[in-house]
Structures are given as C-alpha cells and as structure tokens.
C-alpha cells in the first residue's frame, strides 16, 4: 500500500510537492521499520514485504523516494537527476534481473569529456586523449603503453589517490586531469586520500571512450523514480515521506529496524562526526536544443569552481526543444553525499561498526550506514545479500 504517492514526477511540468500522510489504518506493530527510501531502503522494504510477507513501514526525511538516485521532470518537462548524474552499470546478472521486475531499460553507454587547457578530450584518458593533448599520432596499444611507461614513476608503495595515478601515467597527466579535480571534489590533496578514489577511473591504451566497461549499462526507461514507485507499490509497505527517524521511532512500534542513514547520526555522534563530502547542484534550463557534446563534461582545473556539468537529454534520450543542465559545486557542508575514503576515517567508522554489531534487531545497510563509497549496483547487491542472510537466520530459528 503506497500511502503517499511519490509526488508529481510522472507528468512533465508539475512541481514537486511533499505531502506527508500518516497511515490511517496502521498495524499496532510493524514487523520492520526501514529508514531511508534510497536503493538500500527500497530494496530491503521490497524484499521483506514481497519476499517474507512482513508488514513494513518505510520512511524518509526527504519529500521523495529514490534517495540520491531520485529523478524528476523539471519545469521544462525534462527528466533531470535532482542529485547529479546517476548512470546505471553493473556486471551482476542477479541485480539486473531483480531490477528488471520493476523497469524496462534504455541502453545507454556513458561518455565523459574533460575540458583541459582549452581542449575537449575523452576521459578516462585513452589513446585519443594522448594524441589530442600532446599532438601525437600514437596508433597502437603498445605505443600508448610505452608513452605511459616512460612517464610513470616507480614509487616505494602505492597508497594514496595521487600515488595510484602518478605510478601509472606520471605527473603531467596527473596534474592535468586528476590533481585539481580531486582537490576540488574532496577538499583534500590526492596524497591524503585512499588510492581507491582515483582507481575508480581507469587509464586506457586503446580508443574505448566509454566511462564504464561493465557488461550491463542502461538507464531505467521511465526513470529511477518510476522504478522505485513500482518497487514500493506493495500492500505490505506503508510509506511516509518528510519524516525523521527520531520522530517515527516511538510513534510507530516495530519489531526490527533497517537503518540506511548515516551511521554516526544513529549513535548521536558519540565518537565524533564521520566526515562526508557534500555538493551543491545548480540546475539550469536553456532555451536551446543542446549545450554540450556528451552527458557529462569534467572541468579538472582549479580555476573553475565546479567539477562537472551534466546535460540530461544525452543520458535519458529525451527529445525536447530546450535542454537542462546541472553544475556540481563541491561543498564541505550540506547533505552527506560521499563518505571520504582515508585511513583515519576508516578507523573512526570501525568504532561505530563495533556498536552496530552489538545491536540485536537493527540492520545497517547502504552507502551512509556502512560508510562505503558504493555505486548503486553495489548498494543493491549489499541489500539483497543482507536480506538473504536475514531470511536464512529466520528459517534457522524456525527449524530449531
């Protein structure tokens, strides 16, 4: 039972309007309260309700479902991603099969262009990038590999986000493509961040200009929000939006809790705040058909205050006379979008994790609750695995 319709995103040119409706006829005690209607919470709610027949109350403090993957039609009728570009890609057939119950797909292979010293070149760095930046005519993988090898630095250990790039392509490409972008994005020097951050972006010797190489790359045909609506449209699920966990906790008795918000918030920051990086999104609609040549253009230079510009029509395939774009400005304060991967933060997280493990009937799932820089498919995989674990523990209890 979808107590509250997920606002007016289905139709173009309708404004989002939050209307928190408290369930009129609610069970005396829910089997499970799920906090957060992003991927982690929605998958858990759907599985517990449809897979195990549990009565679930799903809440979110935001006025919409979908978490950071939420998309909506703007005033010009263009489907935009409210929290920046979300591109679905995975190598897991299980995750594709699961989501395909709730959506059709539009094939889409994401391409990113970097604006470097006045040139627009493919990112990740590939052979085309090298030829354009250095005015070369490298014509084979071997030639490109030799170019990288001649510049790569041998380091005693590869620990940081800077080490990972410098040891692969050398300092000049690092400075042109990674140093400024990373300093802006994270408010830290790449030498202070874990190598996993820049290892997300490969370096190529061929001319493949796709951002991802996963076997499955596609966008939900009617958008993420429509897919979430279908996932949550189940008689065992009640949904409340614009509601804080601290307000719902006592008002809605529940036997179990799934928490997908920030883990440090759950424990009232008892060990201090876990650092998160935030972003400000500036959405614009332009009275022209196209703005740029790809879905995303990155601006690594520190003289430009934003990191990237997204133009949604490339990603969604929508045809419209106008176009909508989003500028991303990294911020220290605001919504917690990115856990910051470095040793010190991981140590602090481990202290919170020890508290989570000591709790009975409370499960922590998702990017914020497990403090992991996860993509959507990884969060879905984590939630499906968590559900399987819960179900087999419950069937073990029944048999015993």
Binding site residues, ligand FAD, CB under 6 A: 35-41, 59-62, 67-69, 83-87, 244-245, 260-261, 265, 279, 337, 366-368, 374-377, 379
Distance in angstroms between the alpha carbons of the first and the last residue of the chain: 33
Interacting positions 180-239 with ligand UDP (CB under 6 A): 181-182, 185, 197-198, 200-201
Task: Render 272-300 in DSSP notation, one character per residue.
Answer: -PPPEEEEEEEEEEESSS-SSSSSEEE--
* Residue 310 binds ligand UDP, judged by CB under 6 A: no
Nearest approach, Cβ of residue 151 and ligand UDP (Å): 17
Interacting positions 110-139 with ligand UDP (CB under 6 A): 114, 123
- Count CB neighbours of 231 within 10 A: 25
Nearer to ligand FAD, 78 or 379 (CB): 379
How many residues at the interface with ligand UDP, by CB under 6 A? Answer: 13
Out of ligand UDP, ligand FAD, none, what residue 126 binds, judged by CB under 5 to 8 A for its kind, is: none
- Strands annotated E in 221-376: 237-241, 254-259, 276-286, 296-298, 308-311, 323-331, 338-339, 362-364
Nearest approach, Cβ of residue 112 and ligand UDP (Å): 7
Out of ligand UDP, ligand FAD, none, what residue 201 binds, judged by CB under 5 to 8 A for its kind, is: ligand UDP
Query: With the CA atoms of 22, 253, 69 and 272 taken in that order, what torsion angle do they form, in degrees rounded to the nearest 10?
Result: 120
Asked if 169 contacts 148 with a C-beta cutoff of 8 angstroms, the reply is: yes
Out of ligand FAD, ligand UDP, none, what residue 86 binds, judged by CB under 5 to 8 A for its kind, is: ligand FAD
Out of ligand UDP, ligand FAD, none, what residue 87 binds, judged by CB under 5 to 8 A for its kind, is: ligand FAD
Say how far apart CA 365 and CA 4 lie, in whole Å: 24
Say how far apart CA 346 and CA 363 lie, in whole Å: 19
Nearer to ligand FAD, 44 or 165 (CB): 44
Nearer to ligand UDP, 15 or 331 (CB): 331
Nearest approach, Cβ of residue 195 and ligand UDP (Å): 11
* Residue 298 binds ligand UDP, judged by CB under 6 A: yes
Out of ligand UDP, ligand FAD, none, what residue 330 binds, judged by CB under 5 to 8 A for its kind, is: none
- Count CB neighbours of 240 within 10 A: 23
Task: Render 162-228 in DSSP notation, one character per residue.
Answer: HHHHHHHH-HHHIIIIIIHHHHHHHSS-GGGSBTTTGGGS---SS----S---SEEEEETT-HHHHH
> Tokens at residue 177, please?
């493509």
Asked if 47 contacts 40 with a C-beta cutoff of 8 angstroms, the reply is: no
Of 39, 83, 147, 178, the residue at the interface with ligand UDP (CB under 6 A) is: 178
Nearest approach, Cβ of residue 123 and ligand UDP (Å): 5
Q: Cβ-count burial of 142 within 10 angstroms (0-12 exposed, 13-18 middle, 19+ buried)?
A: exposed
Nearer to ligand FAD, 219 or 390 (CB): 219
Q: Which residues bind ligand UDP (CB under 6 A)?
A: 114, 123, 177-178, 181-182, 185, 197-198, 200-201, 298, 300
């Amino acid at each position: 039972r979808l107590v509250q319709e997920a606002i007016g995103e289905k139709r173009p040119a309708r404004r989002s309007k939050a209307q928190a409706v408290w369930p009129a006829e609610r069970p005396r005690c829910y089997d499970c309260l799920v906090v957060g209607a992003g991927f982690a919470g929605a998958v858990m709610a759907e599985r517990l309700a449809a897979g195990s027949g549990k009565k679930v109350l799903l809440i979110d403090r935001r006025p919409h479902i979908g978490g950071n993957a939420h998309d909506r039609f703007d005033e010009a009728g263009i489907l935009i991603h409210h929290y920046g570009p979300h591109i679905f890609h995975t190598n897991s057939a299980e995750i594709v099969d699961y989501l395909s119950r709730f959506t059709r797909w539009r094939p889409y292979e994401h391409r990113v262009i970097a604006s470097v010293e006045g040139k627009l070149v493919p990112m990740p760095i590939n052979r085309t990038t090298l030829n354009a930046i250095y005015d070369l005519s490298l014509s084979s993988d071997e030639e490109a590999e030799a170019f990288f090898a001649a510049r790569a630095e041998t380091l005693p250990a590869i620990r940081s986000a800077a080490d990972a790039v410098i040891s692969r392509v050398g300092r000049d490409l690092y400075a042109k493509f990674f140093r400024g972008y990373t300093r802006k994005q994270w408010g830290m020097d790449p030498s202070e961040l874990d190598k996993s951050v820049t290892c997300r972006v490969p370096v190529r010797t061929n001319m493949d200009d796709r951002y991802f190489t996963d076997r499955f790359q596609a966008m939900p045909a009617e958008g993420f929000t429509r897919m979430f609506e279908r996932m949550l449209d189940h008689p065992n699920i009640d949904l409340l939006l614009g509601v804080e966990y601290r307000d719902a906790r006592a008002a809605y008795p529940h036997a179990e809790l799934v928490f997908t918000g920030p883990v440090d918030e759950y424990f009232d920051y008892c060990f201090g705040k876990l650092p998160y990086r935030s972003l400000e999104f500036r959405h614009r609609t332009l009275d022209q058909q196209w703005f740029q040549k790809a879905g995303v253009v990155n601006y690594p230079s520190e003289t430009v205050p934003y990191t990237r510009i997204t133009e949604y029509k490339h990603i969604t395939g929508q045809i419209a006379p106008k176009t909508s774009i989003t500028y991303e400005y990294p911020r220290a304060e605001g919504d917690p979008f990115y856990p910051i991967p470095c040793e010190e933060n991981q140590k602090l997280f481990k202290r919170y994790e020890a508290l989570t493990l000591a709790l009975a009937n409370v499960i922590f799932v998702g990017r914020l609750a497990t403090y992991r820089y996860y993509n959507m498919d990884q969060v879905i995989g984590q939630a499906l695995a968590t559900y399987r674990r819960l179900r087999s523990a419950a069937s073990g209890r029944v048999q015993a």
